[in-house]
């Protein structure tokens, strides 16, 4: 089973502490797995379940992505590499094997260059070495600003950008010569990538930009380093970069493979040969985390053993709890897994977290069938703008779908600001059909 955790990296001087979210799975030697940008550690869930038979797989969200805090200022690749080493230190890992795909590999190659004793080996899926002309093109077009807009126009751009990145590389180059062989319109995959981009927000430019600007960081041919394997499969735009690697240390090797399965198999075989020591007991934060409940995980925040378990409204997510409370994301909402029986899962979470009572909110007023719009992903990304329209209208009317003078609310201009609407729309999208199920549960309690 994959578990999820938070760990705080201590601050120093003017640098504040930062929180890192990570996934863990399996047993055996520690394996650090660094995802590509602008994704999160969620992209490794399948691989973690497979490789967990051989390793303790540890996959953090890199700074600014997923649920991890961003690095301060304008970080470059060295800061992201140092952040990976700091993460290992915070966990209590002295030395481990590591795997990274695309930008994850770039971060790890730089981390090995700066912190070689921390790694027993490194496997990389596709290592980019850009030409000056490619760097110029990327600098101009690859990372446009991404900020919420008043009417959700940013969501239309985001959906199509993530959809078409499997059609062309780079994603904005719509020439036949830039077409990719693995084009798809898999709505589940596109929607997952969109949600991860919504988590990153404007911070995606810092993390993604750092890896795009990173220079070749391969040590000189006479360097003595831990072993490294670089592979790239047919259809991967970075396969052509195998020929750009140049001279490498004797412990390094690189080759092309036929497909993603072969790339993963070669990486796993290499990692198993050069694995480090058994993974120690890992540190984690004690004021926020996840507990196993039923068929998944429940996200919580606060002090375990607090008197009251606080619940949010349908389509929302947990807020900062009061001193006498511990809060959860209701199953199917926020970061908590969906559950077939929400009531039973909430009760199990209350008992596991040591709360004495559950604070149930009242069900929102309105017709449930209209309160919660259909947010099933569609080919045009219309579900994103439906969610945005609903949360915007909810600032103006109650219920949001009843646009009339009798339902008008006193408007708070701050609540209509795009940056205020964005997290509410994201929460509603995450909840999906679970919002209606939870609403019905609350309504049944109101009638009791």
Structure token pair of residue 86: 């700091």
Secondary structure of 342-372 as H, E, C letters:
HHHHHHHHHHHHCCCEEECCCCCCCCHHHHC
For residue 435, count CB atoms less than 10 angstroms from its CB and return exposed for 0-12, middle for 13-18, buried for 19 or more: buried
Mapping DSSP to helix (H, G, I), strand (E, B) and coil, where does residue 408 land?
A: strand
User: The whole model's pTM is what?
Assistant: 0.95
Cβ neighbour number for residue 294 with a 10 Å cutoff: 17
Q: How many helices (H) and strands (E) does the chain have?
A: 13, 13
pLDDT for res 410: 94
Helix intervals (H) in 275-409: 342-353, 368-371, 382-396
Give the pLDDT of the chain (448 residues) as one tens digit per residue: 999 999 999 988 888 999 999 999 999 999 999 999 999 999 999 999 999 999 999 999 999 999 999 999 999 999 999 999 999 999 999 999 999 999 999 999 999 999 999 999 999 999 999 988 888 888 778 999 999 999 999 999 999 999 999 999 999 999 999 999 889 999 999 999 999 999 999 999 999 999 999 988 999 999 999 999 999 999 999 999 999 999 999 999 999 999 999 999 999 999 999 998 899 999 999 999 999 998 899 999 999 999 999 999 999 999 889 989 999 999 999 999 999 999 999 999 999 999 999 999 999 999 999 999 999 999 999 999 999 999 999 999 999 999 999 999 999 999 999 999 999 999 999 999 999 999 999 999 877 6
Check if the beta carbon of residue 50 is closer than 8 Å to that of residue 57: no
For residue 405, count CB atoms less than 10 angstroms from its CB and return exposed for 0-12, middle for 13-18, buried for 19 or more: exposed
Cβ neighbour number for residue 242 with a 10 Å cutoff: 17
Q: Pairing relation of β-strands 288-293 and 296-302?
A: antiparallel
Check if the beta carbon of residue 8 is closer than 8 Å to that of residue 90: yes
Full set of structural domains in the chain with CATH: 3-129+216-273 (3.40.50.1820)
pLDDT for res 137: 82
pLDDT for res 333: 98
Cα separation, 333 vs 438, whole angstroms: 10
Element (H, E) at 105: helix 103-114
């Amino acid at each position: 089973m994959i578990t999820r955790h938070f760990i705080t990296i201590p601050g120093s001087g003017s640098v504040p502490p930062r929180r890192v979210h990570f996934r863990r799975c399996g047993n055996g030697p520690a394996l650090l797995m660094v995802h590509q940008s602008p994704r999160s550690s969620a992209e490794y869930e399948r691989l973690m379940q497979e490789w967990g038979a051989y390793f303790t797989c540890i996959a953090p969200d890199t700074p600014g992505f997923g649920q991890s805090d961003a690095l301060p200022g304008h970080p470059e690749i060295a800061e992201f590499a140092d952040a990976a080493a700091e993460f290992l230190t915070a966990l209590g890992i002295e030395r481990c094997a590591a795997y990274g795909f695309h930008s994850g590999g770039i971060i790890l190659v730089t981390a090995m260059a700066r912190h070689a004793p921390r790694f027993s080996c490194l496997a990389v899926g596709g290592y980019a070495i850009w030409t000056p002309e490619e760097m110029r093109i990327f600098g101009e077009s690859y990372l446009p600003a991404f900020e919420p807009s008043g009417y959700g126009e940013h969501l239309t751009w985001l959906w199509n950008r993530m959809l078409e990145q499997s059609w062309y590389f780079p994603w904005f180059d719509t020439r036949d010569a830039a077409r990719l062989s693995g084009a798809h319109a898999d709505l589940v995959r596109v929607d997952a990538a969109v949600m991860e981009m919504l988590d990153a927000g404007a911070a995606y430019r810092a993390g993604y930009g750092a890896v795009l600007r990173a220079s070749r960081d391969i040590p000189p041919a006479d360097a003595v380093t831990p072993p490294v394997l670089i592979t790239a499969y047919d259809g991967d735009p970075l396969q052509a970069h195998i020929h750009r690697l140049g001279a490498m240390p004797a412990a390094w090797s690189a080759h092309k493979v036929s497909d993603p399965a072969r790339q993963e198999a070669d990486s796993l075989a290499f990692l198993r040969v050069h694995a480090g020591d058994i993974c120690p007991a890992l540190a984690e934060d004690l004021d926020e985390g996840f507990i196993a409940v039923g068929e998944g995980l429940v996200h919580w925040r606060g002090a375990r053993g607090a008197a009251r378990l606080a619940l949010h409204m349908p389509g929302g997510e947990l807020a900062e709890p009061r001193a006498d409370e511990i809060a959860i994301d209701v199953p199917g909402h926020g970061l908590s897994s969906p559950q077939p029986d929400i009531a039973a899962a909430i009760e199990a979470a209350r008992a596991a977290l040591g709360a004495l009572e559950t604070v149930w909110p009242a069900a929102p007023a309105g017709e449930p069938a209209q309160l919660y719009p259909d947010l099933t992903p569609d080919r045009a990304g219309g579900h994103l703008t439906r969610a945005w329209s609903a949360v915007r209208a909810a600032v103006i009317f109650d219920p949001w779908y009843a646009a009339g003078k009798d339902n008008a609310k006193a408007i708070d201009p701050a609540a209509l600001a795009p940056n205020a609407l964005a997290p509410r729309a994201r929460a509603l999208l995450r909840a999906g059909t679970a919002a209606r199920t939870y609403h019905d549960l609350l309504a049944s309690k109101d009638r009791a």
